Structure 1
Amino acid sequence: MTPEPRPSRRAERPDTRDRRRALVSGQRSVNPLTVLAFVIPLATVGLLATVDPAPTEDSAKPPSATPLTSTVVVCPPALAGADTLQAALADPDVSGALRTSGADLEVGSGAVATWRTKGTDLLRGQGPTASGLVASRSGGGIATDCLRPSSDVWFAGVGAGAEHSSVLRLVNPDGGPAIADVVVHAADGIREVARLRGVAVPARDELTLDLAAVLPERDDVSLHIQVNRGRLASSVVDRVDPLGSDDRAVSWLPPAAAPATDSYLPGVRRGEGDRTLVLTNPGTDQTLVRLRAVTPESEFAPADVPEIAVPGGATVSVDLGAFLRSRAAAGLVALRLQADAPVVGLLRTTDGNTLSHAVATAPLTGSGATTLAGGDHRLVVAGAQEPSDVRVRQRAADGTPLKERRLTVRPGQGARLDLAGRARWVEVVVDGVPVVAAVESGAGTVRPVRELVTDNWVPHVGPALY
């Protein structure tokens, strides 16, 4: 009997082959959702890589002006007899309430509001009273402007010694702390003073620093205040008290304009007393400063005043008494400083109990204004690089417009103009050619006329991709 053949191991049942074929087919198939999960993110990254994101602040378009809706100016505490404050608005058609440290103050259309207080006073304008707010403190033959907080301020020619000393005051008008660095430029360069680094002023508080106690120094120094956090309003009281003399002079020292290679000190005239020119070079290399005298007729270099070398980072003092007492200084209205590198300048005049300062002043590009107390006042204008037509607007205390004056300031010339006795507001309007201006009051006080602040400048903002 022949046995049946055994099936080969390679032979498989048909149903087994079908199941294996189906299994292999299922392993090779790709789920469409899985593909999309990989492809879409990769495509998105690829598209973004081809896009050049634009910055949110577009530097190609100039900032736009928007009206001020809120502002604050800070008036320093009174010195002896100077307890009168005045405030006014640039627009003579606007009236409203100003908030002071004491109570609300109503300002009529075009009028100059007057009140008395001895302590630091903060004036806050809201809405229509924010634009073009100007205030000052005066009395006892001296005066100073109430200033807005600033993050970068220069005070040239301050004192920190026994005979010439100064007190720096920092006021924080806001609800958060403010921090500043005070850089000291002394005769031998930048002086490192630990107590003046990281100076903190608590919210809605003020701090006074007697420089003679903080950094005793016989020679003049200059201060550069840089606010790193918050806002601060800065002011300086200057004192000259010669040893062995009964004369003691006290006044406010105005902040100077930022360092420049070509600057003007308006409000300088021929006269007696100690006359000290103070120059500070914030750069690292020595620079030479050339002095020129500006009169209504011409501009000239004083024959007996050579070029002045100012080392890098240092402050230099020069006695100008001989020149400013000479006949060559007759009719003088300003000093011009020309330097190879930016400098800061001030002329200090001490005559008995009178102390005044003519400081480097920022040019007016549109209009500037200040309020006036009673007495005689003179406007000094100089610094035009081409003929400039200047209009001088004046208003009485009740807002009544007084006669408008016009003058043309030419290159190399200056002008001194008597202001009306009734004037309590003066505004200097230029025609597009910048000039520098200052107000002389009484026998000594000189105040720079500062640009009116009426708008906020807002950068152009466009969409950006991150």
Structure 2
Amino acid sequence: MIRAPWAVVAAGAVVIVLGSALRPLVVADREPPPVSVEAVETTRLVCPDPIANALITSVVTGFVAPGLGGKSGATRSGGAASSTGAAQLATMPPKGASEKRAISKAGRSETLSTSGMPLPPVVATGIGSLAPGLTLDQFTLGEQGRTRGLAAMECVAAGTDEWFVGGGSGVGRLSVVTLTNPEDSPASVDVLLFGPGGALPAPAGRGVFVPGRGQVRLSLSDLAPGVANFVVHVETLSGRVAAAVSDRLVNGLIPRGLEWVPRSTGPSTRTIVSAIPGKVSPVRLSVLSPQHDATVRVRLITPSGTFAPAGMAKLALSAGRVEVIDITSALRQQPVAVELTSDQPVVGGAWYQLGDATGIAEFAYAAGAPELTGPAAVAGLPIASGYRHRLYLTNTGGKQASVVVTVYDDAGRSRTTTLRVARGSTQVWTVRPPTKRTSGIFSMVVTPSATSTHIRGMRITSLPTGSGTMAAGVTLSPVRSKVVVPEAQPNLAVSAG
């Protein structure tokens, strides 16, 4: 029998009144329990198995941002601090031995590469002084054939709720949801899909079983064929998984690009989609209000300021339907971030293309970006000739922001630069390695000053080739470095005897 909530409350009230007649209840005034902010003690990040074949090479790089460990190894009871710590990359094969790489100290990086051969999912684990600031990124280059393109992704901790704005299941489109479970116990997952026509039933995406230390792939063409634009919501019912969405386009035998769809911030009444480079076409903005009809106001944040695009400043969304708008003409060939403010929570992202309209091309994504409440890190930026790395920073605050950028080579050598980001603007900088090398990789740490709030960012890597420029972007997210720990408190609700 289901009892109405008011009946339960009323019954509870009677018990309290009768009890108070026999034994007075004394409740002391309570202050909020004290808390302490401590360095994290363990971090574990997960990459799905890297894209690889004879024409594609993927590199997974682990890096630890320095200076975030604090009193590493300190106990919560005030014990002595220790400098001990360890970090490593390890493959997660279905059976057999794991391939491992140890990161020796903060500021250093290590890699695992496919070298054209398959590689299982990769897990990065940091403990003690090497847990704060641990970063894991994947970078993929397909130089020719139908899989030509650049792809990059930030590998994250297994979680329970993820949103992706992108992918499709039309002709020539291959979009795949990958669910990786690094835990020993299994997980159960719902993959919920939204398209321009509304929420899609996709029963094969409900209650997906992901075995412990296993991985499951779901093609969006199998779940819901013939959909041009998706928003994907991955919701874990039990356990935890690291979700990812890959996307590839072809026109017959002509490659049209490949990319990982970046994670987006969840539904919110204010979303910043950051960032879209200049001189790309077309640019399509996708917005979804999952639950309710919504009104969304659109503003573009450019190098020179913020404005509402004519004819696109206000959108009316129907609940559950993905609205796709071509905003190419409004960008005026300049780099921008897109601000979405709404009366109901929405998610948003953008897709843009580089290259010929019908020939060989490339595409990339921008997603709803989190505010940088602390340092962000990017690992494994290639140094080889031709690569260009640009940092896009958007400041939605009311004053100029100061951001410190430090780059590290794989041996830990570094160089630091301080950048200024004007209020209400999106600015772009070229990022170069700290030393004059022609090969290898470098990593980057982006740290807003303590007074510089409302900063969001993205790194975009491009590679010009004879058949057009390839590009891949990664949204900046704060690294996991601190945790708020409440102190244990006695129960102050006592009875007077």
Distance apart, 1:157 and its partner CA: 2.3
Q: Distance in 2 between matches of 1:460 and 1:216?
A: 52
Matched, 1:407 2:416: no
Q: Distance in 2 between matches of 1:116 and 1:270?
A: 32
Distance apart, 1:269 and its partner CA: 2.3
Structure 2 residue identity aligned to 1:169: T
Structure 2 residue identity aligned to 1:463: P
2:444 alignment partner, one of 426, 429, 450: 426
Matched, 1:378 2:390: yes
Structure 2 residue identity aligned to 1:408: V
The residue that corresponds to 1:390 in the other structure is: 403
The residue that corresponds to 1:253 in the other structure is: 261
2:102 alignment partner, one of 102, 106, 111: 106
Q: What per-residue deviation string (whole Å, max 9, x for no partner) do you get for residues 123-163 of structure 1?
A: 22222222211011113133211111121110112213323
Structure 2 residue identity aligned to 1:452: V
Structure 2 residue identity aligned to 1:129: L
Q: Distance in 1 between matches of 2:34 and 2:456?
A: 25
Structure 1 residue identity aligned to 2:138: R
The residue that corresponds to 2:131 in the other structure is: 130
* Higher normalized strand content (fraction of residues): 2
In structure 2, the CA distance between the partners of 1:47 and 1:176, relative to structure 1 (3 Å rule), is farther
Distance apart, 1:429 and its partner CA: 1.3
Matched, 1:195 2:204: yes
In structure 2, the CA distance between the partners of 1:83 and 1:61, relative to structure 1 (3 Å rule), is same
Count of aligned pairs between the two proteins? 414
- Counterpart secondary structure, 1:414: strand
Structure 2 residue identity aligned to 1:100: A
Q: What per-residue deviation string (whole Å, max 9, x for no partner) do you get for residues 322-370 of structure 1?
A: 444xxxx243232222222221111111334312001110111122111
Structure 2 residue identity aligned to 1:395: Y
The residue that corresponds to 1:223 in the other structure is: 232
Distance apart, 1:295 and its partner CA: 1.6
Structure 2 residue identity aligned to 1:440: I
Q: Distance in 2 between matches of 1:245 and 1:320?
A: 29
- Counterpart secondary structure, 1:331: coil
Q: Distance in 2 between matches of 1:126 and 1:293?
A: 41
Question: Structure 1 unaligned runs (5+)?
Answer: 1-43
- Check whether the contact 2:299–2:338 (CA below 8 A) recurs between aligned residues: yes
The residue that corresponds to 1:235 in the other structure is: 244
Matched, 1:292 2:299: yes
Q: Distance in 1 between matches of 2:158 and 2:57?
A: 22
1:348 alignment partner, one of 345, 351, 354: 351
Q: What per-residue deviation string (whole Å, max 9, x for no partner) do you get for residues 255-301 of structure 1?
A: 111122222222212324432211111222x2122222222211112
Structure 2 residue identity aligned to 1:451: P
- Counterpart secondary structure, 1:223: strand
Q: Distance in 2 between matches of 1:113 and 1:203?
A: 26
- Check whether the contact 2:33–2:489 (CA below 8 A) recurs between aligned residues: no
In structure 2, the CA distance between the partners of 1:130 and 1:463, relative to structure 1 (3 Å rule), is same
In structure 2, the CA distance between the partners of 1:128 and 1:287, relative to structure 1 (3 Å rule), is same
Q: Distance in 2 between matches of 1:263 and 1:62?
A: 33
- Counterpart secondary structure, 1:73: strand
Which shifted more, 198-207 or 384-393?
Answer: 384-393
Distance apart, 1:306 and its partner CA: 4.5
Identity %: 24
- Check whether the contact 1:379–1:416 (CA below 8 A) recurs between aligned residues: yes
- Check whether the contact 1:396–1:402 (CA below 8 A) recurs between aligned residues: no
The residue that corresponds to 1:275 in the other structure is: 283
Distance apart, 1:377 and its partner CA: 0.8
Q: Distance in 1 between matches of 2:286 and 2:156?
A: 23
In structure 2, the CA distance between the partners of 1:240 and 1:113, relative to structure 1 (3 Å rule), is same
In structure 2, the CA distance between the partners of 1:103 and 1:416, relative to structure 1 (3 Å rule), is same
Q: Distance in 1 between matches of 2:265 and 2:379?
A: 20
Q: Distance in 2 between matches of 1:75 and 1:451?
A: 17
- Check whether the contact 1:240–1:250 (CA below 8 A) recurs between aligned residues: yes
Structure 1 residue identity aligned to 2:377: A
Q: Distance in 2 between matches of 1:330 and 1:349?
A: 12
In structure 2, the CA distance between the partners of 1:288 and 1:366, relative to structure 1 (3 Å rule), is same
Matched, 1:439 2:414: no
Matched, 1:161 2:170: yes
Q: What per-residue deviation string (whole Å, max 9, x for no partner) do you get for residues 101-124 of structure 1?
A: 234422233112123143311122
The residue that corresponds to 2:65 in the other structure is: 90
Distance apart, 1:45 and its partner CA: 9.0
- Check whether the contact 1:82–1:143 (CA below 8 A) recurs between aligned residues: no
1:361 alignment partner, one of 366, 369, 374: 369
Distance apart, 1:304 and its partner CA: 4.4
- Check whether the contact 1:220–1:316 (CA below 8 A) recurs between aligned residues: no
The residue that corresponds to 1:17 in the other structure is: none
Q: What per-residue deviation string (whole Å, max 9, x for no partner) do you get for residues 73-110 of structure 1?
A: 11122225242121111126987441512344222331
Q: What per-residue deviation string (whole Å, max 9, x for no partner) do you get for residues 365-384 of structure 1?
A: 12211113223211111133
Matched, 1:312 2:309: no
In structure 2, the CA distance between the partners of 1:288 and 1:241, relative to structure 1 (3 Å rule), is farther
1:264 alignment partner, one of 272, 276, 292: 272
- Check whether the contact 2:280–2:333 (CA below 8 A) recurs between aligned residues: no
- Check whether the contact 2:195–2:227 (CA below 8 A) recurs between aligned residues: no
Q: What per-residue deviation string (whole Å, max 9, x for no partner) do you get for residues 383-425 of structure 1?
A: 3322222111222221112132331331x21211111234722
Q: Distance in 1 between matches of 2:277 and 2:476?
A: 17
Distance apart, 1:448 and its partner CA: 0.6
- Check whether the contact 1:59–1:460 (CA below 8 A) recurs between aligned residues: no
- Check whether the contact 2:43–2:480 (CA below 8 A) recurs between aligned residues: no
* Higher normalized helix content (fraction of residues): 1
Q: Distance in 1 between matches of 2:204 and 2:34?
A: 40
The residue that corresponds to 1:339 in the other structure is: 342
The residue that corresponds to 1:148 in the other structure is: 157
Q: Distance in 2 between matches of 1:75 and 1:402?
A: 28
In structure 2, the CA distance between the partners of 1:99 and 1:377, relative to structure 1 (3 Å rule), is closer
The residue that corresponds to 1:79 in the other structure is: 51
TM-score by length of 1: 0.81
Which shifted more, 158-167 or 445-454?
Answer: 158-167
Which shifted more, 112-121 or 447-456?
Answer: 112-121
Question: Structure 2 unaligned runs (5+)?
Answer: 1-18, 70-82, 92-97, 142-149, 355-359, 435-440, 463-469
Q: Distance in 2 between matches of 1:184 and 1:258?
A: 14
- Counterpart secondary structure, 1:219: coil
In structure 2, the CA distance between the partners of 1:121 and 1:47, relative to structure 1 (3 Å rule), is farther
